[in-house]
Amino acid sequence: MNLPNALRFELGSFPLACGETVSAAQLDYRVFGELNRERSNLVLYPSSYGAWPEDIAWVVGPILDPSEHCVVLVSQFGNGRSSSPSNGGPPLGQGGWPIDHRDNLQAQIRLLEEVFGVERPALVYGWSMGAQQAYHWAVLEPQRPRRICCVCGTARTTPHNRLFLLSLRQALSADPAWNGSGFDAVPEQGLRTFALIYASWAASQPYYRRGAHRELGYDTVEHYVEDSWLPAYRRHDPRDLIAMLDVWLANDVAAAADTSLATALGRIQAATAVVAGRHDLYFPPADCAHEAALIPAATLHVLESDLGHRAGNPRQAPAEQAQLRAVVEELLSR
């Protein structure tokens, strides 16, 4: 698949939900397929943690059909492509990260309205942190999305998931290069610890039990992490990694809507598919099922896979792709 050119949407002076303002905010995005005459076929896919558009573009074709839909992949704030600590001026590069998913939502609304003339996307599809953004669309702007597909993600970060995120944050901030608000050098030891933690959570116990890392050519899990996982995080500015962690930690549609979780999810008008991974350690099926039960007419689907959290992003796993494609096709028929 040929990857479209990167596009940039200039937001200008952008007010944040916290009360601060970013003076020259921007969104990075890519477009696959064409908008129809009625402007009714746009699918928005917000990025997941650490993902750039080229990392998730494989979904276009196997899961999201560009011959039927105009698929827009958008980088969330903080991922190094859209406005982030690594490329933004005050207040983005100074200490605490002031952005949360409410800001991602408002920026994406402006992108769709001002660039595409679309107020109501046909579908907001998201995996992991992308699912969190889909939930914010449906709760805070219930009249806008016609459908949402939330894959391996929750509307509120759970206490157990929070511990995972705090361990990642501690791995980076405990590195000697951390100065209290940024890094004086590349946090090499912190990044190695970060990758070890991530690799132990993102896949599942059955995945490692069957020796899936050996099937990929790695004789030990240590080599697997060093050669497969560490490069994925070393390519990022570590300030961006922390910024995205802070957004994930703050993820809570109930707090964003200033109400209870049941009331917030009960506001959803969009046709909703909630997709859990059977062995997802971040967002286990029970957590996803709890939220799905609070959403009017939501359908719950469980991916039968030992890929763990990565079952929701099965780049080289045809069986999992087929399961996701079936979910999307059913949802688009509603």
Q: Which residues are catalytic?
A: 128, 280, 309
- At 26, the amino acid letter reads Q
Please choose, from the candidates 98, 102, 92, 74, the residue with its C-alpha nearest in 3D space to the C-alpha of residue 9: 74
Please, are residues 97 and 246 in contact by the beta-carbon 8 Å criterion? yes
Please, are residues 272 and 138 in contact by the beta-carbon 8 Å criterion? yes
Please choose, from the candidates 2, 73, 82, the residue with its C-alpha nearest in 3D space to the C-alpha of residue 43: 73
Q: What is the largest CA-CA distance in the chain?
A: 56
Place of tokens 């759970």: 158
Helix axes 129-140, 101-111, angle to 10 degrees: 70
Which run of H or E residues covers position 250? helix 238-250
Q: CA dist 214 to 209, 260, 299, Å?
A: 11, 46, 36
Q: CA dist 22 to 28, 81, 160, 247, Å?
A: 16, 15, 32, 16
Residue 82 carries which DSSP code?
S
Please, are residues 167 and 133 in contact by the beta-carbon 8 Å criterion? no
If you write DSSP's letter for every residue of 138-161 in order, what string do you get?
HHHSTTS-SEEEEES--SB--HHH
- At 201, the amino acid letter reads W
Burial status of residue 104 (CB atoms within 10 A of its CB: 0-12, 13-18, 19 or more): buried
Please choose, from the candidates 259, 280, 279, the residue with its C-alpha nearest in 3D space to the C-alpha of residue 268: 259
